Amino acid sequence: MNLYDIKGSYDAVFSLGSACNPALQFQRLNLKRFTSSPLDWNYSPFLSDVNRLLKNKFNGFMELKNMRVINDKGVSIYADEGVFVFPDK
């Protein structure tokens, strides 16, 4: 893919990353029309997972069974029936 292939007019632009910097730059350039997008608050180390999410049109994205909390050390936890589970322990 190159710039010529994607150059055009768009209704919205979304960051597919988990860092704040792209969102801040979109806002600075008046490209950001929303407060935040779903991926601004999520982390995925694998582009293939992000592609699958987009392909499936976010089906099941916010279901509790699919959610994890990951700290800055990469440790994840999730809630199962209201009980926190630490899968790495």
- Averaged over 63-85, what is the pLDDT? 67
Whether the Cβ atoms of residue 23 and residue 41 lie closer than 8 Å to each other: no
The pLDDT of residue 82 is: 64
Give 54-73 pLDDT, tens digit per residue.
899 999 888 877 776 666 66
Whether the Cβ atoms of residue 87 and residue 67 lie closer than 8 Å to each other: no
Residue 86 has pLDDT above 70, yes or no: no
Question: Which secondary structure element, helix H or strand E, spans residue 24, and what is its range?
Answer: helix 20-28
Whether the Cβ atoms of residue 50 and residue 44 lie closer than 8 Å to each other: yes
What are the structural domain ranges in the chain? 1-42
Give the C-alpha separation, 75 to 56, whole Å: 27
- Averaged over 73-84, what is the pLDDT? 64
pTM for the model = 0.54
Residue 38 has pLDDT above 80, yes or no: no
